[in-house]
Amino acid sequence: MSEPLEGIGVLRLALEAGEVSALELVEAARAREDAVGTRVQALLHPRWEAARNEAVASDQRRAAGGVRSALDGIPIVLKDNIVQREEPATCASKILEGYRSPFSATAVERLTDAGAIVVSRANMDEFAMGSSTENSVRGPSRNPWDLERAPGGSSGGSAAAVASGIVPAAFGSDTGGSIRQPAAFCGVVGMKPTYGRVSRWGLVAFASSLDQIGPFARTAADCATLLDVVSGHDPRDSTSLPEPALHTSAALDGDVSGLVIGIPKQTLALEGLAPGVRDRVGEAVAELERAGAKTREISLPNMQYGIAAYYLICTAEASSNLARFDGVRYGLRVEGPEGGITPMYEYTRSAGFGDEVKRRILLGTYALSAGYYDAYYRKAQQVRTLLRQDFAAAFEACDVIATPTTPEAAFRIGEKTADPLAMYLADVFTVSANLAGLPGVSVPCGFDAGLPVGLQILGPSLEDARVMKVADAYQRRTDYHEQRPGL
């Protein structure tokens, strides 16, 4: 069986030393996918031949002294809702089968300009709607630590591809925790930037005021390298912050002395929090205290309303965003037997969308309908404002906030599919950061019954480097990120 690929930092040094070529890295990724891919089911639409050609070009640049960046020659995968020119972009949905994008997302342009090599797209919950990567037209991805368990969602394919060693890095999207939650389940690092730090141009929209592109890798340092490349203002995205590209890597010095970590009293007292998760997170915070950080109890009094507010806002935005998939312009078209445009809309959407997508469209349309807008959608937005105020007050007393990433370790595939509310509660610790637009990272902090547990670090808006600094400092003192699943 082929060996898993190491992290970006290790591979970059090997490339610089001439110990390996970019072409050999692509071939190694292909060999690893051949060895474990049918069991993990992380990838969709591989592009191995194109990746080989790009690797050859990277090796030629290196030989000529023209290396573009630390990512030059590094293989990565993209979640199937981040478009790349002339490549499939199906969002793991039947309604977009056969669609190829005529352009690349800004994040993808910046990655390929830096020399990174996209080897495949990654499986996901259809249109990023889910917490388990079970809602895919291609079937579920599986957790490399236990193939009977979910890798998390909706970016589960990206997280599983990194955890299983197919690639050293991947990109996903985070609307309510869809990077951080699968990172926790799969024992890798996943980072959600401040809203607007990374352009959403070319990200197929789920909930436009919540969506954010972010990286997966084995270490916080590798995530910082990826984030620095894709961040920065983009005039094509009206929500892009007028800020320069980040230089997060420069902040990773391992020093957290004097830094104050806020511990929300509402999180560790949450009903349903697994004891093993609570213990591992407590041990992680204690490790940061030994490194010189201080802790302080804080309160986020409106956090309990986050899930309800999130699922009203995200479904309302989804019902608007997904109206474009109508069988007219692209993707699937199913004509009704009676003819006419309205039956075509109905038959196309009925055949093309999966159950979870239909459920969320119906919920969102209901919340926005006349007579219910004020009672539901407006109230959810008011809660969103209260959450932002809670975080602003909390960050006056602390520098970062630490919580579990998820209330439990990875659950079994099929365990929660019959109970959508139980599935939605898997995001209880992550949705608030999206509602408030804050940066957050999940870092491996141990195991519960052999399954990875994630520590979530949240920071104030624009303090992406601060949360990565804390995650990196923790990883310098622990080795959980070095442990591998026994595939």
pLDDT 10s digits, 150-179: 999 999 999 999 999 999 999 999 999 999
Cβ 148 vs Cβ 413: under 8 Å? yes
Q: Is 132 a catalytic residue?
A: no
pLDDT digits (tens, 9 = 90+) for 336-351: 888 889 999 999 999 9
Kindly name the residue from 93, 120, 132, 154 that is annotated as catalytic: 154
Q: What is the mean pLDDT of the chain?
A: 96
H or E element at residue 344: helix 341-352
Least confident segment among 33-42, 59-68, 258-267, 333-342: 333-342
Cα 294 to Cα 282: distance, rounded to the nearest angstrom: 13
Q: Indicate if 79 belongs to the active site.
A: yes
| 8 Å CB contact between 95 and 353 | yes
Q: Which entry of 79, 192, 416, 469 is annotated as an active-site residue?
A: 79
The pair of three-digit structure tokens given for residue 115, joined into one six-digit string: 């020399």
Q: Is 104 a catalytic residue?
A: no
Of the residues 21, 178, 240, 432, which is catalytic? Answer: 178
Q: Which tokens in the block code for residue 442? A: 């999940």
Burial of 478 per CB tally in 10 Å (0-12, 13-18, 19+) = middle
pLDDT of residue 136: 97
Per-residue pLDDT tens for 91-107? 999 999 999 999 999 99
Q: Is 453 helix (H, G, I), strand (E, B) or coil?
A: strand
Does pTM top 0.85 for this prediction?
Answer: yes
pLDDT at 270: 83
Residue 1's pLDDT band (cuts 50, 70, 90): very low
Q: What is the mean pLDDT of residues 108-127?
A: 98
